[in-house]
Amino acid sequence: MKNRDGYVTTEAAVLLPLASILILLLVYLCSYLYQGCFLTQAAYLAAFRGSIFRERDEAYVEEQLDELLDGQALSFGPEQRTVEVSALSVKVSLLRDTPFRVFGSWIPKLSVSWRAAVREPVPYIRGLRKLREWGDRDG
């Protein structure tokens, strides 16, 4: 038995650093997924809020985006924003770098883009009612 003294210490010296590295990589992966979900939600909500009324411009969408991004719990840093407002749609694109870029260029940046069609509530509801009336007449 004297030949085996200290084998637990040797195994722990090898396994504990590997387990620590694995846990750290899992935390980084979870934060990467969180960032992707959070940016997708922020882009969707900003585009949707900007598409409700046609008279709202890019400044309004940027303001909504700022408000949404202020609530995040974890951030990899600032993002590049692109907001395009046209008569038919609102498009919000976000691009954010991640700390994973240290490991190589094969890990992509977080890129999110969302487009929402412009809908004015009053004409939209009136149009739906007219369609329903036309459907009732034919039936």
DSSP per position, the chain = -GGGTTHHHHHHHHHHHHHHHHHHHHHHHHHHHHHHHHHHHHHHHHHHHHHS-TT--HHHHHHHHHHHHTT-S--SS-EEEEEEE-SSEEEEEEEE--GGGGG-TTSPPEEEEEEEE---HHHHHHHHHHHHHHHHHH-
Average pLDDT over residues 81-94: 90
Beta carbons of 112 and 91 less than 8 angstroms apart: no
- Degrees, nearest 5: CA angle 95-99-104: 95
pLDDT of residue 54 exceeding 70, the answer is: no
Q: What is the mean pLDDT of the chain?
A: 83
For the segment 16-43, what is each residue's pLDDT rounded down to a tens digit? 899 999 999 898 888 888 888 999 999 9
pLDDT of residue 59 exceeding 70, the answer is: yes
Give the pTM.
Answer: 0.71
State the pLDDT at residue 28: 84
For the segment 112-137, what is each residue's pLDDT rounded down to a tens digit? 999 998 877 777 778 888 888 887 77
pLDDT of residue 1 exceeding 60, the answer is: no
pLDDT of residue 91 exceeding 60, the answer is: yes
State the pLDDT at residue 20: 93
Average pLDDT over residues 84-111: 82
